[in-house]
């Protein structure tokens, strides 16, 4: 938003200087981005007239122009613009002038054998607009000003403000003045509104079509007949040029002036070009129109358009069309002042890639009660400058605006800000900002002004009071340097411990988005519903993940396709079971693929299986301080696990909450994804379901105990009841002597011939080795006997003969 101090004084009585203003603007949250004088280096740019054009003798696309710049002799200028023609009034830059856009200094140049003295400028080169197709075309009325400087000498600097999206009221000079007055920077001038007093009825019928998702909630208009569109008076041109705007004609300049002055976008239609009346409606797919930027737009369904009985006249709140645009010979105009729904504006502008001053304001939220004010101000100026007769104002509505009311507790201010101001001071600030207040016992009942759509709750009021009172009043409290207690809670410690524990087992940590591809998510969502994202960052990441597997398997597949065979990856992060608060859970999830001991000389290679991830899950939980003797494991798992090769783990036999799932990923999913691996197993640890362990978390340091003595590898096969888990046998063997027995593995589970009904055979391999001596036959026999007796006693198993 660009303003000048001179323009600000139209609304503000103050004795303070511009330097004081710059500091105060930043203090109240209206950050000053830059300050510059537009005419400092632009005095050399002159209004000029092309007298004669000839084709360049040595270049097909260039012309040699004789240009009148108000001096005795004409200037020869080589120009490549298509619209350079005899009689055109334009802007001339002599040698020595610095072009604003490129910051280049002009010199006398020889162009293909012809000497060029300066250049004729486009609007883009002068930073007047983005129009770069051709040189600037000024109205014929400027012929009397040939030779004069185009840029009016200004003593006032352009102050460029960075207005945050929540402050649409400050996209007008008066809104900025209102904030300054509240902070004590002068007094707000009372502007007497010139209301239209007319007995003439508007003859053009306006109708807002009632339909779903109608983008226009109110449409105000008045008809002004017998106008004489002309060049704007000097004061109006000075205003616009002072903030970098280009004067066009009185009617257009007035609508731009009102928009910048009070933040009320308007649009003027040539009433004689409108067929029968105005219809505000949603567009139909395939409709087209040519806009004032001379681009043709093809519309989609549901875009808010202003139309007549012939077709589309413009996009409501964004841009008008050429068919109904005003020109210098326009005699009758329809002046529009409407309120458009911000979402509708934003959606349409984004789809069509349009950015205009009106769109910039409407998408942030215009004052819905400024419709009549804008019409009164603009119509009065048009009558004053262009003459004509004004009809009565007609306002059509599909929705009536209601002011928001907030009950504000004054004590909340100190609780949030840390400093105190009196209730009287609060009321004074809020009154200046446009709030209407009423005391009710312990509360202030505040009526929020219609130009503040960002104010909806008590904390917003606190923000306003702090902003105007001054952020410098908030006390700075230095943090305590001595760290007496740990900065992490037990839950945070558990989170990081599990993270380190999984990583210590050879898994690489992945960090992915919390959203994922719906195709992958469908395989792992289980009974949960798909949670679609309204505005995804890409079409491939359109849903919130129901499981971390959906992302891990996607990236696992990509790595396998790049030639990585044996991969272990994990991630700790949130999954989502719904879109409401509380339907988010913290999970540690891992995937293991390929083979174990590939190309190893020591150990025979094998594909990874369910027991590998089961070991990793159990070991991680044990390391975190949970007692494995109390663990309860069953076979009930989600449908994305192999039903016969997966398990569910509880921390106790009461089955309070599921602690983890582990197992082989269902073969159908692997076939559908077409992931090229021998085996894929995974696990999920539900961190939110883990009660904090009583034992102190203890990082497991890797211990490499290498014995110089001979080892003995033994296999045992036990017959057990079907309800006995393989882990029970491993636990029993582990309890024999951990200094001698190691590398306990299940290598076979068998049910069938020669095995009694309701029983199964479980085969275990293990290593017996001492770190102190070589074990003899009697030692080994004693250990073997101890293993068999312990397993039989603890599990009811019998050694298989």
- What integer pLDDT is reported at residue 244 of this predicted model? 80
Question: 625 with 741, same domain?
Answer: no
pLDDT, tens digit, 9 for 90 and up, residues 606-656: 899 999 999 999 999 999 988 888 899 998 999 999 998 999 999 988 888
> Residue 459: which H helix or E strand, with range?
helix 458-469
* Contact yes or no for 37/77 (Cβ under 8 A): no
Pairing of strands 568-576, 508-509: parallel
CATH code (residue 783): 3.30.70.380
pLDDT band at 700 (very low <50, low <70, confident <90, very high): very low
Looking up residue 654, the CATH number of its domain turns out to be: 3.30.930.10
Span 725-770, pLDDT tens digits = 888 888 889 888 878 888 888 888 888 888 888 899 999 998 999 8
Q: What pLDDT does 627 receive?
A: 87
Judgement on whether residues 220 and 321 belong to the same structural domain of the protein? yes
User: Mean pLDDT across the stretch 527-554?
Assistant: 90
How buried is 23 (Cβ within 10 angstroms: 0-12 exposed, 13-18 middle, 19+ buried)?
Answer: exposed
Inside any domain, residue 151:
no
- The verdict on 353 and 228 lying in the same domain is yes
| Residue 696 counted as domain residue | no
Residue 384 lies in a domain: yes
Q: Where are the beta strands (DSSP E) in 415-538?
A: 436-440, 443-447, 508-509, 515-516, 531-532
Clarify whether residues 113 and 57 are in a common domain: yes
Q: b/e string for 698-732 if b means 16 or more Cβ within 10 A?
A: eeeeeeeeeeeeeebeeebebbbeeebbbbbbbbb
User: Do residues 392 and 411 share a domain?
Assistant: no
pLDDT above 90 (res 678): no
In a shared domain, residues 459 and 539: no
Among candidate residues 655, 674, 689, the one where a domain is terminated? 689
* Residue 436 in domain: yes
CATH label of the domain that carries residue 461: 3.30.56.10
- Same domain flag for 393 and 410: no
Q: Quick one: which of 698, 674, 546, 706 has its CA closest to 624? A: 698
Question: In the chain, pLDDT over 90 holds for what percent of residues?
Answer: 61
Q: Is the pLDDT of residue 391 over 60?
A: yes
Q: Is 425's pLDDT higher than 50? A: yes
Kindly state the average pLDDT of the residues 235-243.
87
Sign of CA dihedral 312, 313, 314, 316: negative
CATH code, domain carrying 277: 3.50.40.10
Is there a single domain that holds both residue 15 and residue 85? no
Same domain, 247 and 352: yes
Kindly state the DSSP code that residue 145 receives in the 8-state scheme.
Answer: G
For range 55-79, the mean pLDDT: 93
CA distances from 71 to 42, 49, 146, 176, 654 (A): 18, 12, 9, 44, 101
Q: What is the CATH number of the domain that holds 94?
A: 2.40.50.140
In this structure, the answer to whether residues 213 and 356 fall within a common structural domain is: yes
The distance of Cα 89 from the centroid of its chain, to the nearest Å, equals: 45
594 and 502 in a common domain: yes
Is 705 domain-assigned?
A: no
If one counts the domains in the chain, the total is 6
671 falls within a domain: yes
Q: Is residue 160 part of a domain?
A: no
| Same structural domain, 447 and 353 | no
Residue 393's pLDDT is what?
A: 92
CB 550 within 8 A of CB 530: no
Q: Which domain holds residue 181?
A: 2-32+167-188
Q: pTM to 2 decimals?
A: 0.61
The three-state secondary structure class of 250 is: helix
- Is 738 within a domain? yes
**Average pLDDT for residues 678-691, to the nearest whole number?**
93
Cα maximum dimension of the chain:
125
Q: How far apart are CA 63 and CA 400, in angstroms?
A: 59
């Amino acid at each position: 938003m660009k303003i000048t101090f001179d323009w600000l004084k139209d609304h503000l009585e103050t004795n303070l200087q511009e330097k004081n203003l710059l500091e105060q603007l930043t203090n109240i949250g209206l950050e000053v981005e830059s300050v510059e004088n537009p005419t400092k280096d632009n005095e050399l740019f002159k209004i000029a007239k092309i007298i004669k054009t000839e084709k360049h003798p040595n270049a097909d696309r260039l012309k040699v122009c004789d240009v009148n710049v108000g001096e005795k002799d004409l200037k020869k200028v080589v120009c490549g613009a298509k619209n350079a023609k005899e009689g055109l009034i334009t802007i001339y830059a002599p040698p020595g002038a610095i072009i604003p856009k490129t910051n280049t200094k002009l010199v006398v140049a020889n162009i293909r054998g012809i000497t060029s003295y300066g250049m004729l400028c486009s609007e883009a080169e002068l930073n007047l607009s983005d129009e770069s197709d051709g040189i600037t075309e000024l109205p014929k009325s400027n012929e009397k000003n040939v030779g004069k400087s185009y840029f009016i000498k200004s003593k006032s600097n352009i102050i460029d403000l960075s207005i945050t999206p929540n402050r649409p009221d400050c996209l007008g000079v008066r809104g900025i003045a209102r904030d300054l007055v509240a902070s004590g920077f002068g007094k707000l001038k009372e502007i007497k509104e010139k209301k239209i007093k007319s007995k003439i009825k508007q003859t053009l019928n306006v109708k807002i079509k009632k339909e779903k998702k109608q983008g226009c909630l109110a449409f105000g208009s008045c008809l002004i007949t017998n106008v004489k569109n002309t060049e704007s008076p000097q004061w109006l041109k000075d205003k616009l040029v002072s903030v970098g705007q280009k004067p066009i004609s009185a009617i257009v300049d007035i609508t731009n002036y009102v928009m910048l002055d009070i933040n009320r976008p308007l649009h003027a239609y040539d009433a004689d070009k409108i067929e029968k009346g105005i219809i505000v409606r949603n567009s139909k797919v395939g409709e087209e129109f040519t806009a004032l930027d001379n681009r043709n737009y093809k519309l989609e369904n549901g875009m808010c358009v202003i139309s007549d009985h012939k077709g589309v006249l413009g996009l409501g709140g964004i841009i008008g069309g050429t068919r109904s645009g005003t020109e210098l010979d326009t005699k009758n105009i329809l002046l529009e002042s409407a309120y458009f729904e911000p979402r509708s504006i934003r959606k349409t502008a984004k789809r069509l890639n349009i950015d205009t001053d009106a769109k910039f304001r409407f998408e942030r939220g215009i004052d819905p009660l400024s419709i009549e004010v804008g019409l009164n101000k603009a119509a009065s100026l048009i009558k004053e400058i262009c003459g004509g007769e004004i009809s009565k104002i007609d306002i059509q509505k599909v929705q009536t605006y209601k002011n928001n009311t907030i009950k504000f507790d004054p004590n909340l201010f100190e609780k949030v800000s840390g400093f105190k101001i009196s209730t009287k001071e609060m009321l004074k600030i809020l009154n200046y900002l446009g709030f209407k207040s009423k005391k009710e016992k312990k509360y202030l009942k505040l009526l929020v002004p219609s130009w503040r759509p960002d104010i909806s709750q008590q904390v917003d009021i606190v923000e306003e009071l702090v902003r105007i009172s001054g952020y410098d009043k908030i006390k700075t409290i230095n943090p305590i340097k001595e760290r007496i207690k740990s900065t992490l809670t037990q839950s945070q410690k558990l989170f990081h411990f599990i993270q380190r524990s999984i990583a210590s087992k050879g898994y690489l940590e992945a960090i992915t988005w919390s959203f994922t591809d719906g195709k992958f998510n469908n395989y792992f969502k289980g009974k949960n519903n798909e949670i679609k994202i309204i505005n995804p960052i890409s079409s491939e990441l359109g849903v919130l993940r129901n499981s971390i597997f959906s992302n891990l398997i996607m990236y696992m597949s990509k790595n396998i396709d790049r030639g990585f065979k044996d991969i272990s990856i994990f991630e700790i992060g949130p999954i989502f079971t719904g879109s409401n608060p509380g339907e988010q859970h913290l999970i540690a999830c891992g995937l293991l693929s390929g083979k174990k001991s590939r190309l190893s000389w020591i150990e025979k290679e094998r594909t990874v299986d369910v027991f590998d991830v089961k070991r990793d899950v159990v070991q991680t939980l044990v390391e975190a301080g949970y007692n494995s003797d109390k663990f309860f494991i069953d076979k009930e798992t989600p449908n994305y696990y192999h039903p016969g090769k997966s398990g569910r783990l509880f921390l106790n036999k009461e089955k309070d909450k599921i602690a983890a799932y582990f197992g082989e990923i269902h073969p159908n999913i692997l076939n559908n994804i077409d992931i090229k691996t021998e085996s894929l197993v995974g696990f999920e640890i539900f961190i939110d379901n883990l009660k904090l362990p009583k034992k102190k978390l203890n990082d497991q340091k890797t211990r490499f105990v290498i014995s110089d003595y001979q080892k003995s590898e033994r296999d045992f096969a036990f017959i057990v009841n079907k309800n006995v888990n393989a882990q029970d046998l491993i636990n029993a063997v582990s309890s024999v002597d951990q200094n001698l027995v190691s590398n306990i593995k299940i290598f076979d589970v068998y049910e069938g011939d020669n095995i009694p009904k309701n029983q199964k055979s479980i085969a275990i391999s293990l290593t017996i080795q001492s770190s102190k001596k070589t074990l003899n036959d009697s030692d080994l026999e004693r250990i073997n006997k101890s293993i068999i007796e312990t397993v039989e006693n603890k599990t009811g198993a019998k050694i298989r003969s």
